[in-house]
Amino acid sequence: MNKHLSKIALVSMFALFLANCGVNNVVIEGRFPTPNIRKMPVYVAVLYDQTLRDFSYLEYTETGSEEFNIQSGASHVELFNSITPAMFEQVIFVDTLEEAQIAGVDAIFAPAIEEFQLALPAKTKLDVYEVWIKYNMRLLTAQGDSIADWVLTSYGKTPTETFQTVEGAINDAAVVALRDLASSFSLSFSDVPEVRDWLDQQ
Amino acid sequence: MNPNLIFKEGRFKILLLMALSFVVSCTSTTVDEFRQGETGISGDETVVVLGRRQASDYETRSEFIECVGDKMARGDNALNIIPEQEFIDAMFPWFEPRTAPLRTQDLAKLMSEDVVADKMGEFGIRYIVWVDGFTETSGRTGSISCTVGPGGAGCFGFGTWEDDSNFDARIWDVGSFTNVGTINTDASGQSYLPALVIPIPLIARVEANACSRLADQLKGFVNGS
């Protein structure tokens, strides 16, 4: 009986090894400075849904097997946590719309990732790793009605280097893309026509 | 055989290889300077060297920018250099690849933002040096094969390649919002990798030479000499 159990355990472990050996996990980590911009005189609640918090992207090989699992949810949360207090006079981070309503905010900001793309030098034949991310930025009233809904894209690249791992290069390219998002979001926020109209009313 | 003779022969071979590496891995560097305005800097003013990263197929490596900055901050007529990353982080989000000023008129517009002007003032920036370029490796030829056996291991073969570095540096005067000059550095060199039991890399220090020559020229330019 014991022999049979250890056989099963061994086969399970081998199967687990085979299932995991193909995917390289990359957890995006980086530093995001606070923007040097003028604050807008509004009270905003920031709401991250679970999809954004857990966001990960799977890159496949040309033969269709999983190659990289890029987890960037936590770094997106960290980035928005860093930029929103520099953009708005008062900011609160909430888990539900109700929380925002109770707080009496002027608006709720709810970002979402729509698309994530990765370009590897082995496939593009360029000497750079590239990351491209498409976002859907949503600004809602405290009651949950839409004020503005716009698309923002960000791009980051990093050159291939002799002593850098592929995982490290992907991380660097993603961090550049996140910084690109932070810069374009913070500088273009008040240029979105619906946002501009809403700001004028405040 | 006399062991001393073997030792002497070995030492002779090493010396020969060192001499060979000196001869074969040399680099040729050309520096062109184009001055458009008067320059000069006082003791309390600083310079920041930044890499251009707008091109789609390459980007100026931060290691090269760091090398140029370090060399400008040392030796005779050393300048006060602000490290690139420190400056970009402090100025965030105004000097990111997508938002950085491409022309001096853009810099003038950027300086109308109080937060930008204040930060520039805190750093005491007098000149911004924009460096744009990369090192390309071409003409890779030859092959080396290595084997491991019960009697030992060894490699045999020959490889060679050429490196070509081309960097442009544009110097902006933050006081007058003008481009006061451009310096171009072009360096190239052939590297060799012969392998006779052990591989002996004879590497041409192309990018290092480009960095050194560009930094010297920039230092002289900014000081007005």
Tokens read off for B100? 């950085």
- CB spacing of A34 vs B119 below 8 angstroms: no
Q: Quote the tokens at residue A28.
A: 């995006």
pLDDT for res A122: 87
Q: Quick count: other Cβ atoms within 10 Å of Cβ A61?
A: 13
Beta carbons of B161 and B139 less than 8 angstroms apart: yes
Contact A127 B119 (CB under 8 A): no
A37 has a chain B CB within 8 A of its CB: yes
Residues pairing with B141 in the sheet = B160
- Is the N-terminal amide bond of B3 cis, ω within 30° of 0? no
Percent of chain A with pLDDT over 90: 72
Tell me the average pLDDT of chain B: 89
Q: How far apart are CA B20 and CA B6, in angstroms?
A: 21
Q: How close are the terminal C-alpha atoms of chain B, in Å?
A: 62
DSSP characters for B41-97? --TT-EEEEEE----SS----HHHHHHHHHHHTSSTT---EE-HHHHHHHTTTTTST
CB contact under 8 A, B92 and A31: no
Please give the Cα distance from A77 to A33 (Å, whole number). 14
Domain assignments of chain A as residue spans, ordered by start:
24-201
Residue among B59, B97, B119 minimizing CB distance to A159: B59
Q: Which range (A158-162, B108-112, B192-196) has the least confidence?
A: A158-162
| ipTM here | 0.79
Query: Is the pLDDT at B85 greater than 90, yes or no?
Result: yes
Are A158 and A169 in contact by the 8 Å Cβ rule? The answer is yes
B39 confidence band (pLDDT: 50, 70, 90): very high
**Chain B contact for A126, CB < 8 A?**
yes
Joined together, the tokens standing for residue B104 give: 């001096």
- The dihedral built from the CA positions of residue A122, A125, A131 and A132, taken in this order, carries a sign that is negative
pLDDT of A22 higher than 90 = no
Domain A24-201 in this protein, CATH class: alpha beta
Q: Are A59 and A73 in contact (CB under 8 A)?
A: no
Amino acid at B190: Q
CB-based contact, B90 to chain A, within 8 Å? yes
Q: What is the mean pLDDT of residues B23-44?
A: 88
Residues A84-142 pLDDT 10s: 999 999 999 999 999 999 999 999 999 999 999 999 998 888 888 999 999 999 999 99
Give me the pLDDT at residue A127, please: 82
| In contact, A92 and A45? CB cutoff 8 Å | yes
- Alpha helix (H) residue ranges in chain B: 3-24, 62-72, 84-90, 104-110, 114-123, 206-223
Predicted pLDDT of residue A8: 60
- Tell me the mean pLDDT in the region A57-73: 89
| Mutation site, A125, A161, A181, A183, interface B, largest B CB count within 10 A | A183
Q: What angle do CA A52, A53, A55 make, to 5 degrees?
A: 60
Q: How far apart are the first and last CA of chain A?
A: 75
Residues contacting B53, CB < 8 A, separation 6+ = B59, B60, B97
Tokens of B173: 């005067």
Distances (CA, A) of B109 to A11, B100, B103, B173, B177: 67, 12, 10, 14, 10
Give dist(CA A175, CA A26) in Å, integer. Answer: 12
